[in-house]
Amino acid sequence: MKLEVMGVRFDNVTMDEALERARTLMATPGAACVVTPNAEIVYEAMRDPALCQLLNDADLVLPDGAGVVLASRILKTPLKQKVAGVDFADRMLALLAQTGGRVYLLGGKPGIAELAAENMRSKHPGLTICGTADGYFREETAVVEKINQAQPDFLFVCLGAPKQELFMERHRGELQVGLMAGLGGSLDAFAGTVKRAPQWMINCSLEWLYRLIKEPRRFGRMLRLPKFLWAVVRRRISGG
């Protein structure tokens, strides 16, 4: 079932249900597409109908972040839970290691995808990573060709939003992959170059605060979170 949060239609799924859906999509012909919008992206989409449409056209729309779940509660259409992109990706890797699926890592600065691949292989023995490429390329066609040659079942697209969503939309018809997912800075987390918040902060919905302390340059971007929540509250009050 879909639940709308400020124009973006999220799949109301638990992590386990998201994985089940992903498994089905991966086995269905054609390149299926997963997006993981957080509150910042939903706020962008409120002001950019094309981006909103792009998100809603994906096969699976997962709520990445406590802000989206909080907004759904304020709007009285509560989502079951946060399904963080990086956690979803990690569970997908476990699944692919078990089933012998192939993974391709696209995105991040040069060297990051390779570092992430090394860590993924040690955490999920037996995982097949069939290719890696950094996210700072000029020739998109060459990148698509390289991915198709590697024949992945699951493609990480980590170019930041909305670049990754636009890339997936542009090449969906020609990409020969089972499933691709826009996963933002996930490769940095897998590579260990950007640390995730401690578990207690994640549990207290304070992951945003940890990122703000670690990466103060994100301050401008993160101001979108209170602006977003204020817009949500106004929507709730007006009942619109």
Give the binding site for ligand UDP (CB under 6 A). Answer: 107-109, 135-136, 158-161, 163, 184-185, 187-188
User: Which residue's CB is nearer to ligand UDP, number 71 or number 191?
Assistant: 191
User: Which residue's CB is nearer to ligand UDP, number 223 or number 233?
Assistant: 223
Q: What number of other Cβ atoms are within 10 A of residue 162's Cβ?
A: 20
User: Which residue's CB is nearer to ligand UDP, number 103 or number 187?
Assistant: 187
User: Which residue's CB is nearer to ligand UDP, number 44 or number 153?
Assistant: 44
In the bound complex, what is the minimum distance in angstroms from residue 151's beta carbon to ligand UDP? 22
DSSP state letters, the chain: -EEEETTEEEE---HHHHHHHHHHHHHSSS-EEEE---HHHHHHHHH-HHHHHHHHTSSEE---SHHHHHHHHHTT---S----HHHHHHHHHHHHHHHT-EEEEEESSTTHHHHHHHHHHHHSTT-EEEEEE-S--S-HHHHHHHHHHH--SEEEEES-TTHHHHHHHHHTTT---SEEEE-TTHHHHHHTSSPPPPHHHHHTT-HHHHHHHH-GGGHHHHTHHHHHHHHHHHHHHHT-
d(CA 228, CA 43): 6
In the bound complex, what is the minimum distance in angstroms from residue 108's beta carbon to ligand UDP? 4
In the bound complex, what is the minimum distance in angstroms from residue 40's beta carbon to ligand UDP? 7
User: Which residue's CB is nearer to ligand UDP, number 113 or number 127?
Assistant: 113
In the bound complex, what is the minimum distance in angstroms from residue 185's beta carbon to ligand UDP? 3
User: Which residue's CB is nearer to ligand UDP, number 115 or number 130?
Assistant: 115
In the bound complex, what is the minimum distance in angstroms from residue 161's beta carbon to ligand UDP? 4
In the bound complex, what is the minimum distance in angstroms from residue 105's beta carbon to ligand UDP? 11
